Amino acid sequence: MRLGILTGGGDAPGLNAVIRAVVRAAMRTYGWPAVLGIPEGFKGLVERIDPIELTPYTTRGLINEGGTILHTTNRANPFQYPVGDDQYADCSDTAVARIAELGIDALVVLGGDGSLSIAHRLAEKGVTVIGTPKTIDNDIPGTELCFGHMTAVSTATDALDRLHTTAESHHRIMVVELMGRYAGWITLRAGIAGAADAILIPELPFDADSLCEQVKERAREGATFSIIAVAEGAKPKGGDVSVLQEGSGVYQPQLGGIGTQVAEKLRGVTRLETRVTVLGHVQRGGSPVAQDRLLATQYGVSAVDALARGEHSCMVAYNRERIGTVPLEQVAGGFRPVPLDHPLLEAARQVGTLMAE
């Protein structure tokens, strides 16, 4: 079998580790003749960019490399492909033709909700395709864990640790805005691990007045500083998410600004010195933590195993410590927020974390 492999959407730590695992399993375990790397995500198919012949030799040393050697874009949907200013065309037939032209028998898509939805639509057009769940946000349905997430959690936790020492020195409120477009997984996990005093996530719209009261109460009780972890997609009760730039066509809205809003409110009401940190793409960069390297390796190997068994139109998924597969149609267009009865929320409450619910 000749494989094609591409990385789509925002990058995430562990992409290169999956590429390495796919190449090794396909060529070493199964003796398949070729794995072609498609550069720039689906754009590489539509624009017929020369593929990169991957081998176990050329993919060595990749397990700890951040980013993606294949590069990626979150603006290349073949079904709604940008062809000019605000103009889009359905170029999916070109993508399908290119896959055939390259002699690719199966395409491995390393992507998030968007790329996996595209993979599903390509499968409906007859392409043999399998997905692996990539996103630091951890919001893909059908799997408990996406690779990249735990590295982002670790980076955000480190940031919270560092903010603690400077917050304490200056007796300040520190608001840190973390990634997570519509799901609060990063903020919830890092917020607990980094001992944030308040955690604000999209799943639990917050009451700004009660947040201010609770922070004032902390100060009255003797706390000399407060750390507030807020997900970029968090919103006040009855309010909306904070958008930096509106989406249009295939461009998703760019979120941001909620950290500043929360800080202004806190500063105004508590009269305490307040600063904002927007951690941003630092959370997507750098070397994957061990857990992501393990997950990425298992995902890569399992995707090849599934194809060898004749399984496709599915995504490899991690549930209850086992890797299985779920049909792409159950993933496409879906979303996995933090469930309101999740044990981590209960743990956060029990250690006294404010959520201003």
Ligand X SMILES: Nc1ncnc2c1ncn2[C@@H]1O[C@H](COP(=O)(O)OP(=O)(O)O)[C@@H](O)[C@H]1O
Known binding residues for ATP: 10, 75-76, 112-115
- Give, as ranges, the residues between 59 and 98 that touch ligand FBP (CB under 6 A): 74
Could you confirm whether 161 is annotated as catalytic? no
Using CA atoms, how far residue 96 sits from 45, 78, 209, 242, in Å, is 8, 10, 54, 38
Token code pair at residue 54: 């991957």
- In the chain, the amino acid numbered 274 is T
Q: What is the CA radius of gyration of the chain?
A: 22
Spatial neighbors of 117 by CB under 8 A, at least 6 apart, are: 331, 332, 333
- Give, as ranges, the residues between 9 and 48 that touch ligand X (CB under 6 A): 9-10
Is residue 118 at the binding interface for ligand X, with CB under 6 A as the rule?
Answer: yes
Is residue 234 at the binding interface for ligand FBP, with CB under 6 A as the rule?
Answer: no
Q: How far apart are CA 197 and CA 252, in angstroms?
A: 31
- Annotation: binding site for Mg(2+): 113
Contact 134, 111 (CB under 8 A): yes
Closest CA relative to residue 173, chosen from 282, 259, 279: 259
Closest CA relative to residue 292, chosen from 119, 133, 130: 133
Q: Which is nearer to Mg ion, 139 or 177 (CB)?
A: 139
Is residue 71 at the binding interface for ligand X, with CB under 6 A as the rule?
Answer: no
Is residue 179 at the binding interface for ligand FBP, with CB under 6 A as the rule?
Answer: yes
Q: Give the shortest CB-119-to-ligand X separation in angstroms.
A: 9
Please give the backbone phi and psi of residue 177, each rounded to the nearest 5 degrees, phi first.
-95, 125
Is residue 111 at the binding interface for ligand X, with CB under 6 A as the rule?
Answer: yes
Q: Give the shortest CB-30-to-Mg ion separation in angstroms.
A: 31
Closest CA relative to residue 161, chosen from 142, 174, 179: 174
Is residue 117 at the binding interface for ligand X, with CB under 6 A as the rule?
Answer: yes
Q: Give the shortest CB-101-to-ligand FBP separation in angstroms.
A: 28
Q: Which is nearer to ligand X, 268 or 333 (CB)?
A: 333
- Give, as ranges, the residues between 1 and 20 that touch ligand FBP (CB under 6 A): 9-10
Q: Which is nearer to ligand X, 262 or 328 (CB)?
A: 328
Contact 66, 97 (CB under 8 A): no
Q: Give the shortest CB-349-to-Mg ion separation in angstroms.
A: 29
- Could you report how far apart the first and last alpha carbons of the chain are, in Å? 53
Token code pair at residue 141: 């349905």
Q: Is 345 helix (H, G, I), strand (E, B) or coil?
A: helix
Strands 81-84 and 254-255, sheet pairing: unpaired
Q: Determine how many CB atoms are found less than 10 A away from the CB of residue 302.
A: 22
**117 contact choice in ligand FBP, ligand X, Mg ion, none (CB below 5 to 8 Å, kind-dependent):** ligand X
Identified catalytic residue from 85, 93, 137, 292:
137
Is residue 336 at the binding interface for ligand FBP, with CB under 6 A as the rule?
Answer: no
Q: Give the shortest CB-112-to-ligand X separation in angstroms.
A: 3
**Contacting range for Mg ion; rule: CB under 5 A; set: 48-56, 104-112, 147-155, 328-336:** 104-112
Strands 129-133 and 173-178, sheet pairing: unpaired
Among 5, 122, 136, 201, binds ligand FBP (CB under 6 A): 136
- Where does this chain bind ligand X (CB under 6 A)? 8-10, 74-77, 111-115, 117-118, 135, 250, 252, 333
Task: List residues with catalytic annotation.
Answer: 137
- Residues in contact with ligand FBP by CB under 6 A are 9-10, 74, 112-113, 135-137, 179-181, 232, 254-255, 284
